[in-house]
Structure 1
Amino acid sequence: MTNVTIKSLAVEMQITVDKLVQQFAEIGINKTVVDDVTQQEQETLLAYRSKYDICNVPNQLTVQRKTRSTLNIPSTSGKSKYVQIEVRKKRIYIQPEYNFLKPTKNNTNERVTSEGKYQIPNVIKENNKQKSKTITQLVNNNTINNIIINKVKKKNYIKNTSLEAEVATIKRKAEEETYRQLEEKARQIAEAARKLAESNNSTNTWITTQEFEDMTNDNINYQKDILAEEDNDIKNERRFRVSKNYKQKRTNILSEFKANREEARAIGRNIKCQNKRKSSSTIMQVFNKPSQVINRDVVIGEMITIAELANKMAVKGSEIIKKMINLGAMVTINQVVDQETAQLVAEEMGHKVILLNDNKIEESLMNDRDIICSSATSELRAPVVTIMGHVDHGKTSLLDYIRSTKVAACEAGGITQHIGAYHVKTDRGMITFIDTPGHNAFTAMRARGAKTTDIIVLVVAADHGIMPQTIEAIQHANAAKVPIVIAINKIDKLEADPDSIKNALTKYGIIPEEWGGDNQFVNVSAKYGTGIDNLLDAIILQAEILDLKAISNCMASGVVIESFLDKGRGPVATVLVREGTLNCGDILLCGLEYGRVRAMRDEKGSNISSAGPAIPVEILGLSGVPIAGDEVTVVRDEKKAREVALYRQGKFREIKLARKQNAKLDTVFDNLTQDKISELNIVLKTDVQGSAEAINDALAKLATEQVKVNIIGYGVGGITETDANLAAASNAILLGFNVRANASARRVIDTENINIRYYSVIYDLLNEVKQAMNGILVPKYKQKIIGLAEVRNVFRSPKFGDIAGCMVTEGIVKRNKKIRVLRDNIVIYEGELDSLRRFKDDVNEVRNGMECGICVKNYTDVRTGDVIEVFELIQIT
């Protein structure tokens, strides 16, 4: 061999250059990548690799097995699911060959002679020879031979059952003796290695005692694993053979063979486990009952059913029901219980309870918003003033004079039936007014108005005195801890007596300032404007005392004053901003709904881009109609806002279901004893959400012992086909408050002969429902719709004003008949038809499919797309 480079030698030996340089360093020859290798150095390297290479591949045997089975998985629905399972096992049996001459990197006794041959100390050679001989003899004699002998013996299993038990006993004793000898020899070898290591120099240590013991233990464990594996294989083959023979042979010989085999197994089992009780058959399964009760960590949310609680505690549902009966609560397995009840039951049964907070996302949203708002500064804001009082005491008229508008004339019946929020700029500053209804059916509306206001102006008519709604308004104000300013209205009348009103109000804790109290009294006249300036001064003075401030440069928050469903624009909510600035495009979380602000309008209908504190606005873009009184919050993440809204909806349904379930359980015995009572089913549709809630509460209060009022469903918007089908299925009366039915709903109403009634004043609705409950409802007149006309265009005439160019779509349009103007199936005006023309001629009637011009009496806000409904009153005899 000639001199070669390191790189060419590495390529020839099929190893890397770095590995070759490292091996030269291990034998004491320092080489670099660019050096040459002599023939003598090559021979030294090859001798080292051939003699001390520890990477020899041992002899091995690979065994693969497949086991197929079917797993039956039960489900909660009662059906079982079968799953095919295939278990693949791969075992590799290796004949161990341990190399004890394992050189260390820092061995100082390794050297190269002058001839270049690699030398090893003689003492280490002799010791290693002795150790290698001992281990090799142990492995060859005890491991491999025993494995082969045992395997041959087990495969040639004696079919004679009586002889088979004796052979198994002798074999087991031989295995135990083999294990004992192996352990004894291992201890002797470990002791010899330990003494040998102590006698050698620390720098000449080739293998440590711990390494030697590990290899010895590995050898013993290796033998045990092989023997255990063979035992398991033999047992599996026996089971398979028994099941196969049982299917093929059903003879007495098979029964005798099985009995003998059971006896042999019992003998072997008794020898192996002498302390265990003898079993007559292995086919029968034996379960050991736990000696102690397992205490678990039970995670409980805000609402949980009895079945879910039982699954988490790993007990039967009947046990939980028994425990709750002992605690005094009657429940069913599907009943929803609250967190406190579930915690009490779980702790009574000995488990540890972990209470789960389900609204973590909501808290993170609010915390994120609070961090942003905490750095902002407060500024003075306009006061929010709520005008309250009894019906027909002049609340809206007083506000009209301040706003210089005619809102009261547009209200049906001349009374307020919605909460109106108005932003007014006066000479003395900016004020936000909230006008609330005075009728007793609108208690919830007045309560919401009291919660969102800073100052309450209590309007009392000087000629009527103290009325029930006046007392109720005082109670709401005291509950909300809001200051009250008394406005004594209608002082222009001759029968007005302001002093008697002051005396009457002292009974309810309202004392004038001139008498030493804290309440301001102002005499006003909404008709002539007397005392209006004094009232505004009193409001501004009270606001300065309160020192009202709000944060304007942060994320907005507010409250829903009113909400309704507009056919063209979708859900619309009137929101009063409390703090921050509400901008178009902000993401809102509003009670059970969420969305993005698509558009904003003020009380005049003008589009605006932002609204500050104490400003009422109409917003578009919510996912649904929110409930009046819900909190409105601007958040950063729309995805999280949607998750929170869906969580609130689910929680609301759970609470509602739990209440219904409790009501059913509480009245289960009452329903059995009481006689059957009459029921009046009602489906209610209104124009706004506040009216729906108010009428719903008022109708629920009308129930008596003989007649029960059931509100089957109520909502916002026009009467649809779904509402008509619901009324037909439940045999209910359809009540429309300022709304009308569309064409498809009218077809269902005519086909099913459903009783439908329209109202625009809440007095009439409640009075007729009362009469229907008493069984004395005998209507004197019935409204008959005789024609419908759709407005195609609007023309202006100098003589008649606005003329609506219409196309008659149904029936006949007649002159001097009652009409209603509908916009998106919502009544916006009711009056009389003033003029009817076809081309230039005055006509008395226009039939279906013909064009005409219609002039509505005292109404000029007719728009393209409106529907004019013509009806007549027919007396019923």
Structure 2
Amino acid sequence: MTVQTVKILSELVNKPVDKLLAQMKEAGLPQTKADQEVSEVEKQVLLNYLKRQHGEDETADNQRITLQRKKTSTISGDGGKSVNVAVKKKRTYVKRDDVDEEAQKQEELAKRLAEEQAREQAEEQARLEAERKLAEETVAKAKAEAEEKARQEAEKTVATKDNGVLNDTEQNASDVGAAEPVETPKQKKAPKKATQPAMDSKKPSVAPKGKKGVRHESDKEKDKPRGRNNPDNKRSRVNVNDGDEFGRRGGKLGRKHKKATKQEHGFQKPTAKMIHEVALPESITVAELAEKMAVKGAEVIKIMFKMGAMATINQTIDRDTATLVVEEMGHTVKYIDENAVENDMIDAIDYEGEAIKRAPVVTVMGHVDHGKTSLLDYIRTTRVAAAESGGITQHIGAYHVETPHGMVSFLDTPGHAAFTSMRARGAKATDIVILVCAADDGVMPQTIEAIQHARAAEVPMVVAITKVDKEGADIERVKNELVAQEVVPEEWGGDIQFVGVSAKSGEGIEALLEAVLLQAEVLELSAVPSAPGKGVVVEARLDRGRGSVATLLVQNGTLRKGDIVLAGLQMGRVRALLDENGKAIDDAGPSIPVEILGLDGTPDAGEEFIVVADERKAREVANFRQGKYREVRFARQHSAKLENLFSEMGKDEVRTLNVVLKADVRGSLEALIKSLTDLNTDEVKVNIVSSGVGGITETDATLALASEAVIFGFNVRADTSAKQFIERESIDLRYYSVIYNIIDDVKQALSGMLTPDLREEIQGTAEVRDVFRSPKFGLIAGCMVIEGTVYRNKQIRVLRDDVVIYEGELESLRRFKDAVNEVSRGMECGIGVKNYTDVKVGDKIEVFETIEVARTL
């Protein structure tokens, strides 16, 4: 809110500061100086006081009527000149609702009328005196202005209809020295203004501006002469109806009148600084921030530079930085909740109703090849494991089964290390975790990860020790290893149930289901089937012919065909509901996994979904989330580039393997991206140019060609046009169905991009026994080869007392008089060292070779 002082208030009401302070003092307000603040309550107190001073009843605004009467007369003076005088009378009548007090009101009215008549008589006498003085002064002025008689006589014939000559009339009245001014048409309109108090005959008061009597200070200011418009050098007789004619005439007088009017009513630059209330979202560009503060962008950049932050006009800054800039520039801050539309829509959903018991959602977790899917296969009496690539689970499977003890919904998460993120999502969407550990293998790295995910999600565990009928099974060893991970069985004083099972014979399956349902009874799981559907996205993929297919787990309420679903950045109307067997159903209640068709995209696995009633609002929220996601991603990338601009200077260039990655489902895509980016080092890295769900298209191939990337297809294939383009341009395309095959190939490719290590291998050593001088080769060292083989074309080092004193190459290698390429151990030879003549007896000449050793990740 803008703070007002006494000085600012005086400018707004057009009243001197001293007079305003006097009135505030009479009204009982504490202000005594012009720079003191005035609150809204104090302004209202002052207004009520002024109304009471002028006889206005604050409660009678709607029951008051004012009648006005105007009488015009002409006063003639010596010299044949006359002045038109207008006299206005006003009476105010108030409607009363109380009939019992009618007589008293009549008496008061008669009293007020008598007082008004007495006052009017006094005013009439004062008016006559003023008119007499005005006539005398007008005659005197007429004699002194004889040189302008021709112009003045021409102006006598001018007749106007409106009230545009206010300033000229007031100037004449001021120049003749009248005790009271002649009432002008502009002053007659004064009572109609909202700030003009109504006349009340009950309390006689000084006549306000526009009425005959004591003049207002602002009227005296308007009476000051303005150049040639001064009545002293213009005319001595004025017709009060000449205003419009002066405005319409084309002469100098009309143009000067227009100029004076423009100067009086033109725009004036505010003297006080404007304080803006700046609304700030989560992020804002410098240009938008400057616009909100009504300043130039260069000023905002200058302030940020002084604060130690360098920014450009189009750079996005966060809310905290923008707050500091706004406060530094003297404005106030107001935070905007950008999620208001989203929050309002979510808050409007009613999840209240009659709660009933629901089935538990169970996630099966554990190490690869420990029998998780085989265990569920026996429970479902289907053959899921046989259809999986490489014998491992590639996706999160979601299905529910009816058991003699009740219904249970299962989530089967992969056990491979690459699916850490998928297992984490499975733990967050579940009520109970079945931790599978093979009796013949024990606790493995992924088993420990599953324990950590379950604890992070704060869900209870039931341990299933599989393969108990296999030779070499050791249940006690498994229990000891799990106790080391703080997973203590009940029989050992812990709170976790341990059940030994076999997926082949079915041993312990019933006990495992009983343990799960017992744990569910302790949790007291419940849901409201009558509420709108709500849950999590388990998986999502693109299907040719059906579009986006999302696997949802309903956690509360009921999801029906035709509902409008908002899931993360995507939304759509449910066109079809399918159970885990592909059978069409009409609805899905709590704890039921279901596939839906109709979303406008593939939401990320793990996103929450809700059913909303208004499709327009759902689309608005989805578009808002997408825009916010793009802004945050762009700001992060831009910030990273700026922050790393100088830090990357001087470093060796990082070798990059560009990849276009397409997968069949969203969960596998996320796991692949995480696994490939984990291979990055300081020297080599994997750059995911593009990733998505669905088949490989010609657009993907074009992008791979432009970015010199390799295309990886995980359980997807390229269409016909894409195949033709890939073959024509010789693009590297590889298909995979098992995730760790991709990881191994990429690791091998990155290893080939690493700079090889350089190692020195000593080939042979010769000891100097004597030194000879040759007229052709100079100094020759007679040597005995004591280790390895001495080669003619390899590098050498000269050692003295086992310290290297020279490094170079051989100039000659001879056996007797013959030049040779190599001399083996135990043989004598003559060695000439190139560009070195300080060889002495006892030195050693070491022959070595530098070889490159390939590095691996």
Normalising by structure 1, we get a TM-score of 0.61
Pick aligned residue for 1:764 from 724, 731, 741? 741
Q: Does the CA contact (< 8 Å) of 2:72 and 2:87 recur in 1?
A: no
Partner of residue 725, structure 1: 702
Distance 1:187 1:53 in 2: 18
Q: Distance in 2 between matches of 1:411 and 1:302?
A: 46
Q: Name the structure 1 match of 2:818.
A: none
User: What's 2:603 paired with?
Assistant: 626
Contact 1:100 1:206 in 2 (8 A): no
Q: CA deviation at 1:144?
A: 15
- Residues 508 and 233 (structure 1 numbering): CA distance in 2 closer, same or farther, change over 3 Å? farther
What corresponds to 1:249 in structure 2? Answer: none
Report how far residue 456 of structure 1 moved: 0.5
| Among 285, 292, 315, the residue aligned to 1:335 | 315
2:180, 2:212 within 8 Å by CA — same for their partners in 1? no
User: What is the alpha-carbon distance in structure 2 between the residues aligned to residue 108 and residue 295 of structure 1?
Assistant: 53
Mapped pair 1:185 → 2:180: yes
1:541 to 513, 518, 521: 518
Are residues 303 and 129 of structure 1, via their aligned partners in 2, closer, same or farther at CA, if it must alter by over 3 Å? closer
Q: Report the Cα offset of residue 527 of structure 1.
A: 2.1
Moved more, 504-513 or 657-666: 657-666
Q: Which runs of 5+ in 1 are unaligned?
A: 1-51, 60-93, 110-121, 158-171, 190-203, 243-264, 273-286, 778-877
Query: Which secondary structure state, in structure 2, belongs to the residue aligned with residue 184 of structure 1?
Result: coil
- Give yes or no for the alignment of 1:479 onto 2:453: no
Bigger CA drift: 629-638 or 209-218? Answer: 209-218
Any residues of structure 2 matched to 1:767-786 within 5 Å, and which?
A: 767-775=744-752
Instruction: Name 1:572's counterpart in structure 2.
Output: 549
Q: Check if 1:352 corresponds to 2:329.
A: no
Query: Aligned-pair distance for 1:474?
Result: 0.6
Which of 366, 373, 380 aligns to 2:351? It is: 373
Distance between the aligned counterparts of 2:91 and 2:134, measured in 1?
Answer: 19
1:740 deviates by: 1.0
Three-state SS of the structure 2 residue aligned to 1:629 is coil
Quote the residue 1:736 is aligned against.
713
Contact between 2:134 and 2:178, CA under 8 Å: does it hold in 1?
A: no
Question: Equivalent residue of 1:667, what SS?
Answer: helix
Matched, 1:674 2:651: yes
RMSD: 4.8
Distance 1:207 1:546, change over 3 A: closer
Any residues of structure 2 matched to 1:511-526 within 5 Å, and which? 511-526=488-503
Describe the shift of the 1:154–1:545 C-alpha distance in structure 2 as closer, same or farther (beyond 3 A).
Answer: farther
Query: Is the alpha carbon distance of 1:154 and 1:301 closer, same or farther for their aligned partners in structure 2, counting shifts above 3 Å?
Result: farther
* Structure 1 residue 358 displacement after superposition: 1.2
For residue 435 of structure 1, what is the amino acid of its counterpart? D
2:564 paired residue number: 587
* Paired residues of 1:563 and 1:690 also in contact (CA < 8 A): yes
C-alpha contact 1:597 1:619 (8 A) present in aligned 2: yes
**Partner residue in 2 for 1:801:** none
- The residue aligned with 1:710 is 687
Contact preservation (8 Å) 1:365, 1:636:
no
**1:100 and 1:207 in contact (8 A); partners too:** no
Relative to 1, partners in 2 of residues 1:141 and 1:309: Cα closer, same or farther, differing over 3 Å?
Answer: farther
**In the alignment, which of 394, 402, 408 is matched to residue 385 of structure 2?**
408
The separation in 1 between residues aligned to 2:289 and 2:596, in whole angstroms, is 43
Structure 2 residue corresponding to 1:532, chosen from 506, 509, 513:
509
1:7-55 Cα shifts (integer Å, max 9, x gaps): xxxxxxxxxxxxxxxxxxxxxxxxxxxxxxxxxxxxxxxxxxxxx9969
What are the residue-to-residue correspondences of 1:688-699 with 2, within 5 Å? 688-699=665-676
Equivalent-residue separation in structure 2 for 1:178 and 1:418 (angstroms): 98
Letter of the aligned partner of 2:740 in structure 1?
A: Y
Q: Distance in 1 between matches of 2:531 and 2:134?
A: 82
CA distance 1:436–1:58, change in 2 (3 Å): farther
Give the distance between the partners of 1:350 and 1:604, measured in 2 at CA.
65
- Picking from 485, 488, 493, the partner of 1:508 is 485
Q: Residues 214-246 of structure 1: CA distance to partner in whole angstroms, max 9, x if unpaired? A: 44489996995998799698999989999xxxx
Which residue of 2 is the match for residue 781 of structure 1? none
| Distance in structure 2 (CA, Å) of the matches to 1:748 and 1:105 | 93
Q: Percent of aligned pairs with the same residue?
A: 49
Deviation at 1:681, TM superposition (A): 0.5
Task: Compute the displacement of 1:593 (Å).
Answer: 1.4
Partners of 2:568 and 2:603 within 8 A in 1: yes
For 1:518 and 1:354, the matched residues in 2 are separated by: 52
Counterpart secondary structure, 2:541: strand
Work out which of the residue numbers 355, 363, 378 in structure 1 matches 2:343. Answer: 363
**Contact in 1 for aligned 2:541/2:550 (Cα 8 Å):** yes
SS of corresponding position for 2:741: helix
Gap change, CA 1:289 and 1:511, over 3 Å in 2 = same
CA gap 1:433/1:140 in 2 versus in 1, 3 angstroms: farther
Q: Structure 2 CA distance, aligned partners of 1:146 and 1:544?
A: 111
Please give the secondary structure, in 1, of the residue aligned with 2:545.
Answer: coil
Does the aligned pair in 1 maintain the 2:71–2:88 contact within 8 Å?
Answer: no
Contact 1:100 1:132 in 2 (8 A): no
Matched, 1:601 2:578: yes
2:392–2:414 CA contact under 8 A, matched in 1: yes
State the shift of 1:652 in Å: 0.9
Q: What is the SS of the residue equivalent to 2:479?
A: helix
Which whole-Å CA distance do the structure 2 matches of 1:142 and 1:621 have between them? 94
Aligned partner of 1:692: which letter? L
The structural deviation recorded for 1:359 is: 1.4
Residue by residue over 1:404-455, the C-alpha shift from the partner in whole angstroms, topping out at 9 and shown as x without a partner, is 1111112222211111110111101010000111111111111110111011
Higher alpha-carbon deviation: 330-339 or 451-460? 330-339
The one-letter code matched in structure 1 to 2:453 is H
SS at match of 1:185: coil
Give, as a single letter, the amino acid of the residue that structure 1 aligns with 2:279: V
| Preserved contact between residue 684 and residue 753 of structure 2 (Cα < 8 Å) | no
Contact 2:365 2:435 (8 Å CA) reproduced = yes
Q: Classify 1:230/1:678 alpha carbon distance in 2 versus 1 (closer, same or farther; 3 Å).
A: farther
SS at match of 1:362: helix
Aligned in 2, Cα 1:670/1:129: closer, same or farther, shift over 3 Å? closer
Query: Whole-Å Cα distance in 2 between the matches of residues 229 and 472 of structure 1?
Result: 94
* Whole-Å separation in 1 of the counterparts to 2:467 and 2:140: 121
Structure 1 counterpart SS, 2:740: helix
- Partner of 1:337, secondary structure, is strand
Q: Using the alignment, how far apart are the partners of 1:602 and 1:142 within structure 2? A: 107
Tell me the distance in 1 between the aligned counterparts of 2:247 and 2:510.
105
Distance verdict in 2 for CA 1:206–1:417, change over 3 Å: closer
Match of residue 435 from structure 1: 412
Q: Distance in 1 between matches of 2:501 and 2:535?
A: 32
**Cα 1:585–1:138, aligned 2, differ >3 Å: closer, same or farther?**
farther
For 1:472 and 1:155, locate their aligned partners in 2 and report how far apart those are by CA, in whole Å: 111
Q: Which letter does structure 2 place at the counterpart of 1:337?
A: I
Report the number of matched residues.
606
Shift of 1:344: 3.4
- 8 Å contact 2:326–2:332 — kept in the other structure? yes
1:752 to 712, 717, 729: 729
Which residue identity lines up with residue 619 of structure 2 in the other structure? R
- Displacement after TM superposition at 1:750 (Å): 2.3
* In structure 2, distance between residues paired with 1:105 and 1:486: 91
